[in-house]
Chains A and B, each alone.
Chain A
C-alpha cells in the first residue's frame, strides 16, 4: 500500500474515464510526434541529397518536377535536352562541375541512370564489391537494389522501358553487373548506375541514328565517351562561387532551350506547400491535447466530488492534505505518462508503416526508432498538462472540512 498503488487503483476503478483521457492524449501526442518525425526525416532525406548541387538544368517544364526527378529520382523527368547544350555550360566560368544524367529505363522498378563517375564521386559513394562501371552496358548497383533484386556481380539483366517497372523489356541488349555500392544513405542506394553511353546504346536501335547537325562540340575537349549529338535528361550543376547563382539561371532560361531550377528554392517551396497542411495538423493536435487535459480535469473533478468523503476519511486516518494532493497529482501524471507512451509508440508505428509504403513506392526509407529531442520536450509538455489538469480540481483538498464532510450523509 502506497500512494502510487492508491492512485493506480483509482485510475483502474474509473476505467472508461481514464481510457478517454489517455485516448485523447495518445491521439494528440501521437499526431504531434508523427509530424515531428516526418518533418525531420523528410528534411533529412531532402537536404542530404541536395548537398553541393546548386542548380539543375533540364527540359522546360515544372522546375519542382525537374528537381524531384533529377535529384531525388521520384518524379517523371520533364523531357530530354541536347547534350551539346549541357556541355556548353562547362565552358561557363561560374561552373565547377556538370554531371549529366540520362534516365528512362528501369529494372524491377529501380531506375537505371546513365551518368559519369563524377556523380558517384559527388555523393561520396564507395564501391563495395566489384568495380565501378567503365564500358557501355556495365552497371554498378546501389546497395538497396542489390538487396531487393538479388543481382550479384557477374549477373546480366534486361532493362525495361519507363520508370515504373511495367514497361516493355529491351530484350536484346543486356546489362552486366560489375559492382555493388556500399550503402551511403543517399539516393545512389536505390539506383542502378551505368555510363551515359549505355543508355544511348540501348535506345539506338529504336531511335533514328544520330545526326551530324551540330559539329561545334568537337572543339571541346570532352570527357564524354561519345561527343556526338546526343540527348540527356538533365544535368546537375555545381557553381564555382555564389555569383553563379545570380547570373546563370537567368542565362540558361533566356538563351538555351533548357530551364534552370535551383534545388534550395524548389525544396523550400515544396516544404512551404506541405507546411500549410502540417501547420493545420499541428494546430489540430494541440487542440486534441487541450481536450485531453480538459478530460483529465473533468474526470478528476467529478470523481473528487464523489470521493470527497473518501478524502475526509483518509484525512481522519492520519493522511496529510499535501499527501492527498500528491496522490491526486499522481493520478494526472500517470494518465499523462500513459498517453505519452502510447502516443509515441503510435507515431513510431505510423512512421514505420509510412516508411514501408514509401519504400515500396519511392524506394526511400525512414528510420523510425530513434527518439527525437523534441519528443522529450513533448513528454515534459504532456506531464505539465497532466499535473495542471489534476492540480486545479485537487486544490479542493486543502479546503475540505473533515468534520463537516464526515458528518454529512
Chain B
C-alpha cells in the first residue's frame, strides 16, 4: 500500500508542482492521467524515492520515508518498489535472464532463476532468456521490464508511460499483464500516463 500527503516539488521558483494526495491499496490499481509538462514523471520519481519532495510525506507499507538515510532509501526502493519506464532500458551487455537476476542481486537478495523463468513464461518471452535485450522487439522489451519490476515481489509497482511507445495490440497486452501480475502478488499499481487508450482500463483515476 502506498499513500502520499501534500507532496510538492520545484525545479525553480517559477516551476513549482503541488500534487494531489494519493492512496492506492494492496492489489489495487491507480491511473494518473496528465498532459506533458504537468509533472507526471516528477511525481512518479518522488513516489519512487528517486527525488526528494520539498514538502509532504509518503507512506509505503506503513512506513514513512521522510526520516530515511540515502542508504536506507536505496534499500527500500530496491526491495519495495518496482519501476517500469517509458522506454525499456537494460544493462545492454547482459542477457535478458541476467538483467532479471540483476534486480535480485542489487537488492541484496538471492538470485531466483526459477522465478525469472516463471515470469518469462507468464509474460511470453520464455524463449528469449539467453538473448541480449536489444535483440527483442519494443513490446517484448517492455514485458521484460515488467518482469524485472516484479522480481523482488515489490509492495508498489510504478509505471511511467509504459504503453506510449507501443501499438494498440501490445498496449492492451502490457496493461493486462501489469494489472494481472500486480494483483497476483498483491502490490499497489500506479500508472502515470497521457495515453488516452488507458482511460477505460482503470476505475481509479486522478488527473493532474
Q: Does B147 contact A (CB under 8 A)?
A: no
Q: Does B13 contact A (CB under 8 A)?
A: no
Q: Say whether, besides A310-B89, A317-B103, A403-B45, A6 and B94 are in contact (CB < 8 Å).
A: yes
The residue from A6, A314, A318 contacting B108, defined by CB atoms under 8 A apart: A318
Q: How far is the CA of A310 from the CA of B106 in the complex (A)?
A: 13
Q: How far is the CA of A409 from the CA of B88 in the complex (A)?
A: 11
Residues of A within 8 A of B91 (CB): 6, 9, 310, 313-314
Chain B's nearest CB lies how many Å from the CB of A354?
Answer: 40
Residues of B within 8 A of A318 (CB): 74-75, 77-79, 106-108
Interface string of B88-107 (1 = CB under 8 A from A): 01111110001001111111
Residues of B within 8 A of A5 (CB): 98
Interface size on B, residues (CB 8 A): 31
Q: Does B87 contact A (CB under 8 A)?
A: yes
Residues of A within 8 A of B103 (CB): 317
The residue from B50, B90, B93, B105 contacting A316, defined by CB atoms under 8 A apart: B50
Q: Are A316 and B102 in contact (CB under 8 A)?
A: no
Q: How far is the CA of A292 from the CA of B50 in the complex (A)?
A: 38
Instruction: Give B22-50 interface residues, CB cut-off 8 Å to A.
Output: 41-42, 45, 48, 50
Q: Say whether, besides A9-B93, A317-B103, A403 and B51 are in contact (CB < 8 Å).
A: yes
The residue from B74, B89, B104 contacting A1, defined by CB atoms under 8 A apart: B104
Q: Say whether, besides A314-B106, A316-B77, A406 and B92 are in contact (CB < 8 Å).
A: no
A-B contact count (CB 8 A): 67
Q: Is the interface of A mostly helix, strand, loop or mixed?
A: helix
Q: Are A317 and B102 in contact (CB under 8 A)?
A: yes
Q: Are A9 and B94 in contact (CB under 8 A)?
A: yes
Q: Say whether, besides A320-B74, A406-B45, A409-B87, A314 and B93 are in contact (CB < 8 Å).
A: no
Q: Does B85 contact A (CB under 8 A)?
A: yes
Q: Does A407 contact B (CB under 8 A)?
A: yes
Among A9, A313, A318, residue most surrounded by chain B Cβ atoms (within 10 Å): A318
Q: Does A367 contact B (CB under 8 A)?
A: no
The residue from A9, A310, A403 contacting B98, defined by CB atoms under 8 A apart: A9
Residues of A within 8 A of B75 (CB): 318
Q: Does A402 contact B (CB under 8 A)?
A: yes
Q: How far is the CA of A307 from the CA of B42 in the complex (A)?
A: 22
Instruction: Give B66-122 interface residues, CB cut-off 8 Å to A.
Output: 71, 74-75, 77-79, 83, 85, 87, 89-94, 98, 101-108, 111
Known interface pairs A2-B105, A5-B98, A317-B107; 16 further A-B residue pairs with C-beta atoms within 8 A, sorted by A's residue number: A1-B102, A1-B104, A1-B111, A6-B93, A12-B93, A310-B91, A310-B92, A313-B90, A314-B106, A316-B48, A316-B50, A318-B74, A318-B78, A319-B74, A403-B51, A407-B41
Could you give 18 example pairs across A and B, Cβ below 8 Å?
A: A1-B102, A1-B104, A6-B102, A9-B91, A9-B94, A10-B93, A12-B93, A307-B92, A310-B90, A310-B91, A314-B102, A314-B106, A315-B74, A317-B77, A317-B78, A318-B77, A318-B78, A409-B87
